[in-house]
Amino acid sequence: MKELLEIFLLFFKMGAVTFGGGYSMLPILRREIVARRAWLTEEQVIDFFAVGQTLPGIIASNVSVFIGYQRRKTPGAIAAALGVVTPSIIIITLIAALMQDFQNNPLVRHAFKAISICVCALILDAVISMWKRGVKDWVGVVICVAVFALAVFTQLSPVWLVIAAALAGISVRKLREGKG
Amino acid sequence: MIYLRLAWEFMQIGLFAVGGGMATLPFLQRLGERTGWFDQQLITDMIAISESTPGPIGINMATFVGYNTAGVLGGIVATLAEIIPSMIIVVLVSKSLARFSSSPYVRDAFYGLRPAVTGLIAAAVVSVFQTVVLDFDLYHVTGRLTDLISLKYLLFFALALAAIRKFKKSPVLYIALSAAVGILLKF
């Protein structure tokens, strides 16, 4: 029980102090889990990140569940997941509640108008980086452009696009192996 | 029962959004369009707040949308529902981690998934851009192209993108600076 609480508090801290999630958690994980507690080796943490981002869901919660499970099986996994989401639930609920009071304030509206333009640029920046990392050849270009067009011009659920893209990836690779 | 519907919708998002927090954005947009629970304006506020507060972006976005749809309990339900499918998957994969990460099927699926997720998020950018940079509402009323495109917003967008690409600082910094610019220049 004591260790479950320790797992919860450790991931609570991680959720409370890291911005953006994903790899921004890596430095603090390295310090708390590899250096201070020696629960895992550096390589194991990197492996969890590598696999964590290939699975569905939020990368930060996937990595937390991997580490919690490693320590204490399913109860550890649950403690880690609850720990990493609790700060978000508290902070965002407070901010969302405050926002409902302040959203008609002109200063807040001006600030949020500019922030939303900046956010649009931030997401486009993420897309450019993802394009450079993930679109390696003409098959990638075709899939990316096709999914983009279907998402913009049709009402298709992203669920189907994700499933179709995974199947397309597998089929193209299998066809190539067949030929080679 | 709004909580059950929220849980069902967010479990689907948690199960099919691959590639981290931002990959949930296209699903959230479609959810808003389909259910009418929230509009595009709330989506852009949601991203701004989720990027500039501590915690994983995907988790923050789920809490924000859940709260605005069904109050405090809605935020909790949406957040937990979103992580439950991947929790189960991670626990299953943990039992055979080596086999999973060397599976050719997983590798091949990602050959298709990475470009697809890039395309999905690019489409999300288009719809956010239409809401925040262009002014379609005014354009529909007046029909003047000069009302559709605001030079001030467009210029600010281009400057922000250039700064983000060049300096690679934390999003929090850009968001704080934008808030100051927005107040000073009355955006």
In a domain, B124, yes or no: no
* Contact state of A159 with B16 under an 8 Å Cβ cutoff: yes
How far is residue A95's CA from residue A31's CA, in Å, rounded to a whole number?
30
How far is residue A15's CA from residue A60's CA, in Å, rounded to a whole number?
9
Domains of chain A, residue spans: 2-102, 105-134, 135-180
Q: 3-state class of A164 per DSSP?
A: helix
Total tally of structural domains belonging to chain B: 2
B142 and B64 in a common domain: no
- Residue of A103, A131, A166 lying closest to B112 (CB–CB): A166
B67 and B8 in a common domain: yes
Among chain B residues, the shortest Cα distance to A167 is held by: B109
* Contact state of A148 with B87 under an 8 Å Cβ cutoff: no
- Residue of A22, A74, A140 lying closest to B91 (CB–CB): A74
Query: Using N-to-C axis directions, what is the helix angle for A2-17 and A59-102, rounded to 10°?
Result: 60
User: What are the pLDDT tens digits along chain A (180 aa)?
Assistant: 899 999 999 999 999 988 877 777 888 888 899 999 999 988 888 888 888 888 999 999 999 999 999 999 999 999 999 999 999 999 999 999 998 888 889 999 899 899 999 989 998 998 998 899 889 899 999 999 999 999 999 988 898 999 999 999 999 999 998 876
DSSP for B126-182, please give it.
HHHHHHHTB-HHHHHHH--HHHHB-HHHHHHHHHHHHHHHHH---HHHHHHHHHHHH
In a domain, B13, yes or no: yes
In a domain, B119, yes or no: no
B137 and B106 in a common domain: no
Give the ipTM.
0.88
Residues A48 and B6 sit within 8 Å (Cβ to Cβ):
no
How far is residue B76's CA from residue B35's CA, in Å, rounded to a whole number?
19
How far is residue A36's CA from residue A10's CA, in Å, rounded to a whole number?
12
Give percent of chain B with pLDDT exceeding 90: 64
B86 and B140 in a common domain: no
Which of A57-61, B113-117, B128-132 comes out lowest in average pLDDT?
B128-132
B137 and B87 in a common domain: no
- Residue of B54, B113, B156 lying closest to A117 (CB–CB): B156
B98 and B185 in a common domain: no
In a domain, B126, yes or no: no
B137 and B86 in a common domain: no
Q: What is the pLDDT of residues B161-185, one digit of tens each?
A: 999 999 988 888 898 999 999 999 9
Q: Which one has a higher pLDDT value, A116 or B80?
A: B80
Which of A139-148, A171-180, B83-92, B129-138 comes out lowest in average pLDDT?
B129-138
pLDDT computed for residue B73 by the predictor: 98
* Chain centroid offset of residue B20 CA: 10
**Domain residue limits at B152:** 133-187
In a domain, B122, yes or no: no
Mutation pick from A12, A88, A176 vs chain B, by most beta carbons of B within 10 Å, is A88
Q: Give the 3-state secondary structure of A23-78.
A: HHHHHHHHHHHHHHCCCCCHHHHHHHHHHHCCCECCHHHHHHHHHHHHHHHHHHHH
In a domain, B143, yes or no: yes
Residues A115 and B90 sit within 8 Å (Cβ to Cβ):
no
